[in-house]
């Protein structure tokens, strides 16, 4: 098929549109999906437009079709909904969600609006939007209903649905997620509307202080891995799942003694270990969370290797593996890192319950425990190790002297659970 083109000074509002990429002025090679599209500004508004995908494949014919479309809009006082809902700022509900998904996936046609979130976070946000669309579908056709026509009653219906399905914490996350969806439509897609989720009553979350793990509780969980039944009965059909993995105990200890996030610890490699001039060992790893937030590479975090952590690494093969690029945990893996992360999280809860521990703790509580003990030693310098503040971006392969000093001190002084805390 012949590639569509526009002259140097095209007719006002005329664009080339890719139906496959759902984008104006496409840079792709989906020539068979190219079409002409016109956008007409609605008088009396700042940014509202009506758009239409044109049938013409010859530019002069497309101009004629665009002129007729403008006349049609004027004759109907711009109240028509005869627009193409695939793009533009007058989407249907379902097309709005598709557009938001593209945005979260970093597929914005405008460089300044490119968004970068984890795939899991994107799926979660889109899941909340789909739940909202599902409640709308009970009373409206979501393929024809314009997103700007969402009413206060629609919000009320979804609010009631979420209230019956989620705990207060997840409820707030869900409503905030859908509010962010409408913020995207208003701020990025420039739809002229008020955010229907702009104001709502958030749920009160009961605060708890039982986040950290004691030495006795942690030791008990490790012993339970060897003694408690690994089988977990799922659902009402009696399905049994084996929660035991040979790497669980080493994984739990790595989480406790490094204070890292799941993705950081599961993908730790022996080659991430560095040694300072004074001989202090530490992990140097990419700070993935900060890199995503700042959309920058080469931002690192440093994990001091104290005596407890070094003893564990020796058990796991430090002297044989220290010069290799092997993973520290499950080096000969045949599964994805995400699978290992999920296994560690779910198995920790399984064996915590098996140990008879009723406290509301999970795998992430090990990170909180680490930070608690680090704070006792490092005080205000704790953030330099845990990346909870906007510390300086380090130059590639060079360590800020302040950071290095803190890492060296931490490696010498920090003991999780205090003195004589070997696990």
Task: Convert the pLDDT of each residue in 217-233 to its tens digit.
Answer: 999 999 999 999 999 98
Residues 119 and 34 in one domain: no
Question: What is the structure's pLDDT at 182?
Answer: 94
The stretch 375-392 carries a mean pLDDT of 50
Q: How far apart are CA 158 and CA 134, in angstroms?
A: 9
Question: What is the structure's pLDDT at 411?
Answer: 56
Question: What is the structure's pLDDT at 95?
Answer: 84
Question: What is the structure's pLDDT at 8?
Answer: 87
More confident call, 86 vs 406: 406
The pLDDT confidence band at residue 87, using thresholds 50, 70 and 90, is very low
Last residue of a domain, one of 26, 59, 87: 87
Task: Establish if 420 belongs to a structural domain.
Answer: no
Segments forming the whole domain that contains residue 182: 91-205
Nearest residue to 50 via CA among 61, 58, 62, 42: 42
Residue 247 has pLDDT above 90, yes or no: yes
Tokens of 361: 């703790």
More confident call, 386 vs 56: 56
The stretch 162-189 carries a mean pLDDT of 91
Residue 362 has pLDDT above 60, yes or no: yes
Residues 156 and 258 in one domain: no
Least confident of 157-161, 332-336, 401-405: 401-405
The stretch 12-26 carries a mean pLDDT of 81
Residues 171 and 244 in one domain: no
Torsion of CA 228, 231, 236, 238, to 10 degrees: -120
Residues 187 and 72 in one domain: no
More confident call, 300 vs 243: 243
Task: Establish if 402 belongs to a structural domain.
Answer: yes
Task: Establish if 120 belongs to a structural domain.
Answer: yes
pLDDT exceeding 70 applies to what percent of the chain? 78
User: CA separation (Å) from 138 to 15, 131, 170, 346?
Assistant: 36, 12, 23, 35
Question: What is the structure's pLDDT at 268?
Answer: 95
* Entry field: residues in the chain: 423
Task: Establish if 419 belongs to a structural domain.
Answer: no
Residues 126 and 225 in one domain: no
Residues 223 and 333 in one domain: yes
More confident call, 143 vs 347: 347
Question: What is the structure's pLDDT at 25?
Answer: 77
Least confident of 182-196, 379-393, 406-420: 379-393
Tokens of 339: 């699978």
Nearest residue to 272 via CA among 328, 340, 319: 328
* Most confidently predicted of 79-93, 102-116, 379-393: 102-116
Residues 162 and 248 in one domain: no
Residues 243 and 176 in one domain: no
Prediction pTM value: 0.52
Task: Establish if 421 belongs to a structural domain.
Answer: no
Task: Establish if 116 belongs to a structural domain.
Answer: yes
Residue 406 has pLDDT above 60, yes or no: no
- For 37, the enclosing helix (H) or strand (E) is strand 34-41
Question: What is the structure's pLDDT at 51?
Answer: 81
Residue 394 has pLDDT above 80, yes or no: no
* Most confidently predicted of 129-133, 304-308, 360-364: 129-133
Question: What is the structure's pLDDT at 340?
Answer: 96
Which DSSP letter does residue 95 get?
H
Contacts 24+ apart (CB under 8 A), 341-344: 341/262, 341/263, 341/266, 343/243, 343/245, 343/248, 344/245, 344/248, 344/251, 344/252, 344/255, 344/262, 344/266
The stretch 135-163 carries a mean pLDDT of 90
The stretch 297-312 carries a mean pLDDT of 84
Question: What is the structure's pLDDT at 155?
Answer: 95
Helix, strand, coil shares of the chain, percent, nearest 5, are 45, 10, 45
Nearest residue to 296 via CA among 395, 381, 399: 395
Nearest residue to 38 via CA among 27, 20, 56: 56
More confident call, 75 vs 327: 327
| Residue 301, φ and ψ in degrees, nearest 5 | -130, 160
Can you say how many angstroms the Cα of residue 242 is from the centroid of all Cα atoms in its chain? 29
Q: How far apart are CA 296 and CA 290, in angstroms?
A: 8
| Residue 303, φ and ψ in degrees, nearest 5 | -115, 115
Strands 281-286 and 273-275: antiparallel
The pLDDT confidence band at residue 244, using thresholds 50, 70 and 90, is very high
Tokens of 259: 């204070």
Q: With contact defined as beta carbons under 8 Å apart, do 264 and 285 qualify? A: yes
Question: What is the structure's pLDDT at 84?
Answer: 52
The pLDDT confidence band at residue 359, using thresholds 50, 70 and 90, is confident
Residues 306 and 281 in one domain: yes
Supply angle C-alpha 317, 318, 321, rounded to 5: 80
Tens of pLDDT, residue by residue over 107-117, are 766 556 667 67
| Total number of domains in the chain | 3
Residues whose CB falls within 8 Å of the CB of residue 262, separated by 6 or more in sequence, listed in order:
341, 344, 345, 363
Last residue of a domain, one of 182, 205, 228: 205
Q: What is the rounded average pLDDT for all residues in the chain?
A: 81
Last residue of a domain, one of 87, 107, 124: 87
More confident call, 71 vs 21: 71
Nearest residue to 218 via CA among 70, 110, 323, 369: 369
Can you say how many angstroms the Cα of residue 371 is from the centroid of all Cα atoms in its chain? 23
Residues 361 and 387 in one domain: yes
Beta bridge partner(s), residue 35: 17
Task: Establish if 16 belongs to a structural domain.
Answer: yes
Question: What is the structure's pLDDT at 398?
Answer: 30
Residues whose CB falls within 8 Å of the CB of residue 99, separated by 6 or more in sequence, listed in order:
22, 87, 91, 185, 189
Residues 222 and 345 in one domain: yes
Q: What is the CATH number of the domain that holds 274?
A: 1.10.443.10
Q: What is the CATH number of the domain that holds 165?
A: 1.10.150
Residues 162 and 225 in one domain: no
Task: Establish if 312 belongs to a structural domain.
Answer: yes
Residue 80 has pLDDT above 60, yes or no: no
């Amino acid at each position: 098929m012949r590639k569509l083109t526009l002259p140097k000074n095209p007719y006002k509002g005329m664009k080339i549109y890719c139906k496959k990429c759902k984008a104006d002025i496409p840079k792709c090679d989906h020539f068979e999906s190219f079409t002409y599209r016109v956008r007409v500004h609605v008088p009396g508004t700042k940014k509202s437009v009506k758009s239409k995908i044109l049938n013409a494949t010859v530019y002069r014919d497309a101009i004629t079709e665009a002129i007729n479309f403008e006349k049609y809009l004027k004759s109907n006082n711009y109240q028509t909904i005869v627009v193409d809902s695939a793009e533009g700022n007058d989407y249907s509900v379902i097309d709005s969600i598709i557009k938001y998904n593209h945005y979260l996936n970093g597929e914005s046609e405008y460089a300044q609006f490119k968004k970068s979130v984890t795939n899991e976070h994107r799926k979660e946000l889109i899941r909340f939007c789909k739940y909202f669309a599902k409640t709308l579908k009970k009373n409206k056709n979501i393929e024809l209903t314009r997103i700007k026509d969402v009413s206060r009653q629609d919000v009320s219906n979804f609010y009631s649905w979420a209230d019956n399905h989620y705990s207060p914490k997840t409820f707030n996350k869900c409503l905030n997620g859908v509010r962010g969806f409408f913020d995207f439509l208003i701020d990025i897609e420039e739809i002229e509307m008020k955010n229907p989720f702009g104001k709502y009553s958030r749920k009160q979350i009961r605060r708890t202080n039982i986040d950290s793990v004691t030495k006795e509780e942690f030791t008990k969980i490790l012993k339970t891995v060897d003694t408690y039944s690994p089988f977990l009965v799922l659902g009402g059909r009696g399905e049994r799942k084996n929660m035991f993995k040979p790497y669980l105990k080493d994984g739990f200890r790595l989480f406790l003694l490094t204070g890292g996030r799941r993705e950081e610890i599961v993908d730790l490699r022996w080659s991430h270990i560095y040694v300072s001039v004074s001989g202090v060992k530490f992990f140097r790893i990419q700070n993935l969370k900060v890199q995503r937030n700042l959309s920058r590479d080469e931002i690192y975090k440093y994990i001091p290797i104290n005596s407890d952590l070094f003893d564990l690494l020796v058990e796991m093969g430090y002297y044989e593996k220290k010069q290799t690029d092997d993973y520290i945990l499950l080096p000969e893996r045949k599964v994805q890192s995400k699978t290992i992360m999920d296994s560690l999280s779910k198995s920790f809860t399984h064996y915590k319950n098996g140990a008879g521990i009723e406290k509301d703790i999970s795998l992430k509580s090990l990170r909180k425990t680490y930070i608690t003990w680090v704070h006792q030693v490092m005080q205000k310098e704790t953030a330099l190790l845990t990346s909870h503040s906007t510390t300086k971006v380090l130059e590639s392969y060079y360590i800020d002297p302040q950071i290095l000093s803190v890492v060296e001190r931490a490696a010498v002084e920090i003991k999780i659970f205090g003195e004589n805390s070997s696990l």
